[in-house]
A and B are shown apart, each in its own frame.
Chain A
Amino acid sequence: MTGRTFSSIYNLPLPSLPTSPYSMKSTLTLLGFLALSQTLWSSEAFDIWMDNLRSHFAKSSADSFWRARLSGTLDLEYHSFEGSPPSLIDTTDNAHLQPRAILFLDIQAGKKIYAFGQARIDNGFDPSNGDREFRLDEYFIRYSPFGDDSLNLQAGQFATIVGQWQNRHLPWQNPLISAPLAYEQVTRITDNSSFTYDFPGTEVSDKWLYNYNPIIWGPVYATGFAASGKRSKFEWAVEIKNAALTSRPEYWTLGYDDFDFPSYSARIAWKPDLRWTVGLSASEGPYFGPWQRSTLPRAWDPSRYKQTTFVVDASFEWRHLRIWSEFLQSEFLVPGTGYVDSSSAFVEASYKLDTRISIAARLNTQRFSSLENQWGASVAWGEDQNRIDLGATLRLSAYSQLQVEVDLRDNKTGLIDMGTHFSSRFTLRF
């Protein structure tokens, strides 16, 4: 009997060590990470010093009605890869270093009002930009009229209620460095440039990655309103946002569309106990950006060109084991082409091996429907892909951690040069 290896089932390339010309940069970066790790390793004094520092970042009124906490993370993220850069990383080199600072402000007023803001300093959502920028990514106010979890009303710019990944998308909470495939891998859908009429034959160029969109653009910090609540073992949430799930960050803020083309989303979740969550989400809304709408013929109604998405999610958390899974199905109406759809799924697990070390793995897959192209041939409108993400997190102290991850990528058509992607991230929280 011939055994099939995990790699052969998924037709994945075996990982290989980085080679020149980026081996020197990789080595230096790894040495830097190791030096930081050694400095902070088991440093109780550092934890106590950080506790003391953090105590200066919290304020409350004498009666504790008003409370505020400033916190954040400092990240140094490093990627090296074979072949094309993964997700939205834009570089001609085979390595990329991304420093990032994130600031959080949590405010509570009594039992009923909670407000949150998140600002970042990094290279921006568009990696080709290259310049450091300061952005206010999230801000919202949440009102709980009954002072409990039975009803919450929220307004502002905030992460989508669809799916479960947004709960762990921040660097400290994410057991891996990458996002699931559906949340970061670009497709041929674009909300930023004119569609060509030979849509199925369009290739995603490495040079113009930022013109294209994933099914869900990360946590989708779009602007809008949400209501959520809990009744017995069921949780529910609805939201109206100014941008679709696939929309790029530039359209999340107020000032672009201002709800002329809103998206509607809903989620219901069943939690029989703390261990299990099973959720169902749906979202629909026009996905064209303002400039793209202007390229449409006058008779074409841009509100017709919608993205419709369904997500089924399930998770299990108990003791040192956490498992999440999602199945996503998204359909787009493309001008001159018709409906195209893509389905994606992932199963992700993390396990704490001991007090400081946890390991994580994620199996991703994404599939694209077929279309008839201009020559009458049936072709898929995207490259089917599989990806395995393997990672480990080392807690250096209560306030610092080091993560490493290897992604093994593969597609069926070979149109895009895929390969191994190695990443590491040092995070200091405060």
Chain B
Amino acid sequence: MNSAHRLLALAVCLTFSPLAELSAQATVSGTVSLPPPPPTDVIAKRYNMVSDGSTLTPSPPIAIVWLEGASTSDSATPTANAEISQENFVFEPALLPIQVGTTVAFPNHDEEYHNVFSYSKAKRFDLGRYMPDEKPVPTQTFNKPGQIILRCDVHEHMKAVILVLETPYFTSSDTEGSFTLADIPKGEYTLKAWVDTKTTFEKAITIDDETEISVSFD
């Protein structure tokens, strides 16, 4: 085989090998129009003989952006677990995207009881009242995709959302609404942006030879 043939063979291998796919991976970035921050709520302390004067510092709104498509649903199972804590009478984080199969821990870092529960169809549970230093920390594994609204049965102002996604390609925006999804293989996808429990934007995108794609949701 002469050198010209060797070069041709190498080019063919690169074109059809996984390495070639990797080299074609793209980055999707853009912005999502975010809603204004909600008003800061009040902790109802009506009948506590002794009540702490703590104030709430809720997280500002952000969006969750993810890709749905034929090549995303059969992706590998998640490798990392996640956590939503109850701290200073708010859930932290208040919005958590996870992949199907992820286990989430719910530690209580306050000196008062919380009672985390969900009535969402994708996952119904009620953890009961756990003490701050109690081990093991209560956990739940989320095996169905969907939007799960977390609430506290003791403090009615507390609310959080877990988005259970069938894709490893997801990210959180910053507080300005900017996001970046990297290492996306070629293919046709639906790009979705969750803004609140009532609003999810979506756009069809195709990733071929382009390596930088910009999308905005207004």
Contact = CB atoms under 8 A, between A and B. Distances in A.
Interface of A: 42, 44, 47-48, 51-52, 55, 58-60, 64, 67-69, 71, 104, 106-108, 110-112, 114, 116, 118, 138, 142, 144, 147-149, 152, 159, 161, 166-167, 169, 228-230, 235, 237, 267, 269, 273-275, 317-320, 352, 354-356, 395, 397-398, 429
A429 B157 CA distance: 13
A159 B48 CA distance: 10
B199 to A, nearest CB: 11
A111 B54 contact: yes
Interface in B12-52: 38-52
A186 B39 CA distance: 45
Top-5 shortest CB links A-B:
A319-B128, A60-B39, A64-B40, A60-B40, A144-B53
Given A148-B53, A397-B119, A352 B46 contact: no
Interface in B35-93: 38-57
Contacts of A148: 52-53
A354 B126 contact: yes
19 contacts: A47-B119, A58-B38, A58-B40, A67-B42, A110-B55, A148-B52, A148-B53, A152-B50, A159-B47, A228-B50, A229-B50, A274-B129, A318-B131, A319-B128, A320-B126, A320-B129, A352-B128, A354-B126, A356-B124
Contact of B50 (A51, A235, A319): A235
A152 B47 contact: no
Interface in B122-152: 124-126, 128-132, 149, 151
Contacts of B113: 274, 317
Interface residues of B, number: 43
B138 to A, nearest CB: 9
A237 B56 CA distance: 25
A319 to B, nearest CB: 4
Given A58-B39, A68-B42, A274-B129, 11 more contacts: A60-B41, A106-B42, A111-B53, A111-B54, A116-B44, A116-B45, A138-B46, A147-B53, A235-B50, A274-B131, A320-B129
A318 B129 contact: yes
B214 interface: no
A238 B48 CA distance: 13
B175 interface: no
A104 B197 CA distance: 26
Interface of B: 38-57, 111-113, 117-121, 124-126, 128-132, 149, 151, 156-157, 159, 197-198
Contact of A166 (B47, B54, B151): B47
A71 B156 contact: yes
Nearest to B55: A111
B197 A152 contact: no
Contacts of B130: 319
A35 to B, nearest CB: 20
Among B53, B131, B132, the one with the most A-chain Cβ atoms within 10 Å of its Cβ is B53
Contacts of A228: 49-50
Contacts of A397: 119
Among B40, B43, B56, B118, the one with the most A-chain Cβ atoms within 10 Å of its Cβ is B40
Contacts of A69: 41-42, 44, 157
- Binding site secondary structure of chain B: loop
Contacts of A107: 42
B41 A58 contact: yes
B60 to A, nearest CB: 12
Nearest to B46: A116
Contact of A235 (B49, B54, B198): B49
A67 B126 contact: no
Given A44-B120, A318-B129, A355-B119, A149 B159 contact: no
Contacts of A138: 46
B45 to A, nearest CB: 6
A68 B43 CA distance: 10
Nearest to B126: A355
A317 B55 CA distance: 25
Given A71-B156, A161-B49, A167-B48, A108 B55 contact: yes
B52 A108 contact: no
B55 A352 contact: no
Among A64, A104, A161, A267, the one with the most B-chain Cβ atoms within 10 Å of its Cβ is A64
A58 B112 CA distance: 24
A167 B50 CA distance: 12
Contacts of A152: 50-51
A52 B38 CA distance: 11
B119 A42 contact: yes
Contacts of A274: 111-113, 129, 131-132
A333 B145 CA distance: 67
Contacts of A111: 53-55
Contact of A112 (B53, B117, B132): B53
Contacts of A106: 42-46
Nearest to B125: A355
A110 B40 CA distance: 12
Contacts of B43: 106, 108
A321 to B, nearest CB: 8
Contact of A51 (B118, B126, B132, B159): B159
A398 B156 CA distance: 10
A269 B49 contact: yes
Contacts of B126: 320, 352, 354-355
Among B46, B124, B149, the one with the most A-chain Cβ atoms within 10 Å of its Cβ is B46
A44 B51 contact: no
Contacts of B49: 161, 228, 235, 237, 267, 269
Contacts of B117: 355
Contact of A108 (B42, B50, B128): B42
